[in-house]
């Protein structure tokens, strides 16, 4: 069987309050169809059942019902990817995970936990990491692919482990990993995927329930199946930008944000962030007020003096380029200014940032990825943060400890 150019899997973890929107996205994919050069498979898990589809021509597919499924499980995702990508050889592979996402925003997790407690269910969002990684302490703290039936989700550690297993099966990195979920375009998530993925497409913001325009995305790929991973990642951002220009969501006056990042080209950015963390930490305690002032400047700009509904800028996630710009624009410590400007440059459009789109003037200057940095006297640090690959590098986690010496939450 000749190799296709692309094999695409859309994994809809919709066994939650987004199930109707998941069905809508699935219908878009089914209408678009597939071709001999673009192989397309889907799995959708809802409270009403689980089905996986193999697509043929436009509007033509073969469906298979499954008895039970845990879409918040590493094993389930890996097995589904093995089924989808093993059907036909392909030069490139795209995996899109569709669900709730929480990035690094603790309040969203607290809200979901409260829902579980109110319904009598026991919250166990991060059990999967412990089960899958030889009962090691659960680690990531923020998650994607929420399954309200099993009470599981893929936290960032589990997501990275699933990606590594899929890449190992493929014998190469996943060419495009899309996270059609809220708040997943973070440095921490990208760092977990360094190695098993080439490119990441996600959002720093709250993703509208209407999600990505899959009919337009697949139409573009079907028309140009020879495109490489970077081109497809840029195309996803462009298609989302155009769709939401024509169909602006109601919250926050229609603001959206989408990013495409080369995970392979991530090391220079991580090195720049390490240097900034070292410079800020060396400048403590005097640097504490400068960093807090930069955060206030960033939040004031990107919430239009508080008029936007709070989302990632609820003192947890900060656009890394905007924060660096505020630190680099002024300040007596030349080392901090130089390091901040290096981060700012690393997040300009280029080898790492393949594409960034936002709507809303308050987002001008976004750099595609947010970073976790809760200020003191506002929020305690997450006790789970140290389990992440980015935290294990040392400098950023050490900076957070020096900047925010509160008891871990």
Q: What is the CATH number of the domain that holds 216?
A: 3.40.50.11970
319 occurs within a structural domain: yes
318 occurs within a structural domain: yes
355 occurs within a structural domain: no
Number of domains in the chain: 2
* Across 328-335, average pLDDT: 83
141 occurs within a structural domain: yes
* 91 plus 223 within the same structural domain: yes
Q: Which pLDDT belongs to residue 254?
A: 74
Q: Which pLDDT belongs to residue 164?
A: 97
Pick from 167, 166, 175: nearest CA to 228 = 175
The last residue of a domain, from among 210, 245, 264? 264
Q: Which pLDDT belongs to residue 16?
A: 73
Instruction: Report the run of H or E that residue 261 belongs to, with start and end.
Output: strand 257-262
Domain range holding 54? 4-264
The string of pLDDT tens digits covering residues 275-302 is 999 999 999 999 999 999 999 888 878 7
Find all residues with CB under 8 Å of 40, minimum gap 6, and list them.
Answer: 7, 8, 9, 10, 29, 32, 33, 34, 54, 55, 218
Residue 116 predicted with pLDDT over 60: no
* 308 plus 176 within the same structural domain: no
* 163 plus 201 within the same structural domain: yes
Greater confidence (81 vs 69) lies with 81
* 82 plus 205 within the same structural domain: yes
293 occurs within a structural domain: yes
* 259 plus 273 within the same structural domain: no
- Give residue for tokens 């021509």: 57
Cβ neighbours, 10 Å, residue 21: 16
Which of 63-77, 94-108, 141-155 is least confident?
141-155
73 occurs within a structural domain: yes
* 83 plus 153 within the same structural domain: yes
pLDDT tier, 121 (very low <50, low <70, confident <90, very high otherwise): very low
Which of 28-32, 45-49, 142-146, 174-178 is least confident?
142-146
* 169 plus 120 within the same structural domain: yes
Pick from 218, 16, 34, 192: nearest CA to 116 = 16
Residue 141 predicted with pLDDT over 70: no
* 39 plus 168 within the same structural domain: yes
Kindly report the pTM of this predicted structure: 0.88
Percent with pLDDT over 70 in the chain: 82
359 occurs within a structural domain: no
* 260 plus 272 within the same structural domain: no
* 212 plus 312 within the same structural domain: no
* 183 plus 246 within the same structural domain: yes
């Amino acid at each position: 069987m000749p190799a296709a150019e692309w094999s695409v899997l859309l994994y809809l973890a919709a066994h939650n309050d987004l199930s109707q929107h998941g069905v809508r996205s699935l219908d878009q994919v089914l209408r678009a169809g597939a071709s001999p050069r673009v192989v397309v498979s889907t799995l959708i898990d809802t409270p009403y059942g689980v089905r996986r589809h193999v697509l043929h021509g436009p509007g033509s597919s073969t469906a298979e019902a499954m008895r039970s499924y845990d879409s918040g499980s590493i094993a389930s995702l890996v097995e589904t990817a093995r089924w989808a990508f093993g059907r036909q050889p392909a030069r490139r592979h795209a995996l899109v995970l569709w669900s709730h996402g929480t990035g690094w925003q603790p309040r969203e997790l607290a809200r979901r936990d409260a829902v579980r407690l109110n319904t009598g269910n026991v919250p166990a969002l991060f059990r999967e990491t412990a089960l899958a990684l030889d009962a090691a302490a659960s680690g990531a703290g923020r998650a994607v692919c929420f399954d309200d039936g099993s009470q599981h989700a893929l936290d960032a550690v589990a997501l990275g482990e699933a990606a590594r297993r899929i890449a190992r099966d493929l014998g190469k990195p996943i060419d495009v990993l899309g996270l059609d979920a809220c708040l997943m375009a973070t440095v921490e998530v990208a760092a977990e995927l360094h190695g098993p993925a080439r490119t990441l497409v996600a959002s720093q913001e709250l993703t509208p329930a209407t999600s990505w325009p899959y009919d337009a995305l697949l139409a573009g790929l079907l028309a140009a199946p020879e495109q490489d991973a970077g081109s497809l990642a840029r195309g996803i951002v462009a298609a989302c930008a155009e769709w939401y220009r024509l169909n602006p969501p109601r919250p926050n006056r229609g603001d959206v944000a989408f990013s495409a990042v080369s995970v392979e080209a991530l090391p220079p950015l991580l090195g720049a962030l390490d240097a900034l963390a070292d410079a800020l930490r060396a400048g403590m305690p005097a640097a504490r007020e400068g960093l807090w002032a930069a955060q206030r400047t960033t939040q004031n700009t990107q919430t239009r003096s508080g008029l936007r509904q709070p989302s990632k800028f609820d003192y947890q996630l900060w656009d890394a380029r905007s924060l660096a710009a505020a630190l680099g624009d002024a300040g007596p410590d030349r080392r901090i200014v130089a390091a901040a400007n290096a981060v700012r440059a690393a997040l300009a459009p280029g080898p790492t940032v393949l594409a960034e789109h936002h709507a809303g003037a308050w987002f001008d200057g976004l750099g595609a990825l947010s970073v976790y940095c809760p200020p003191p006297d506002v929020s305690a640090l997450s006790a789970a943060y140290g389990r992440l690959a980015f935290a294990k590098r040392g400098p950023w986690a050490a900076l957070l400890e020096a900047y925010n010496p509160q008891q871990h939450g």
